[in-house]
Structure 1
């Protein structure tokens, strides 16, 4: 079993919070991985050495500052009543809505969903903004969200 039932997921409330409820059809597409599967995804796609984005080491592709864009604000859009993704995201990512994506909070906490579900509910995912990364299956583009209200984009190696 690769997934944890959403009802048993420790951060379920970010998707069921009264102020920003997620549609039932989208909830079905939000699939937290078990810690073991999260660790595997993290190791394969993010880092073999570092447990979270605060501790990338030499040899981790994400530690290469040259690949990252300038910081772009996401906090302003998050605070607004508009559900649209922050400026710059859709210019950088042009995936189809059914593209499988992984929202990687840290080594033991990764969620699988579809790009369309993430686009509609990105604010929920960012209730925890301590350095999560969004990657697409078989895609090179990556977004790295920072707790200072900005994100960076890059093409991962």
Structure 2
């Protein structure tokens, strides 16, 4: 598996990974409620993914296995992990862990002392296993809940 910066030509396949991951793997969060899914998927379009890829200063990564994009992740320069989604075809293969590790390495290089994120219910135990800790109660996010978490980044 290769972890690399996303390129413009990755936008469509990366978008498909985001949408499939949300629809197929995050059922605990959206509970197959079409309104929740519609809200969550609204900005997960090929055009929007391309905009994220080409945004100056963007750090959107893809995990690639052969010709397939296995996962998509991104972080902001302030230390916030914005995306971390894996294709259902590559679940439990270490893709998300590798992406988070690459994001943390990038954030350390930027001088960030911590990484922080809002976790879905689906991913909460995954992040806890990587050393992230809850920073407060779960917050309302659209029709779902998001758990704020953070992890110190050792220098």
Normalising by structure 1, we get a TM-score of 0.32
More helix by share: 2
More strand by share: 2
Normalising by structure 2, we get a TM-score of 0.32
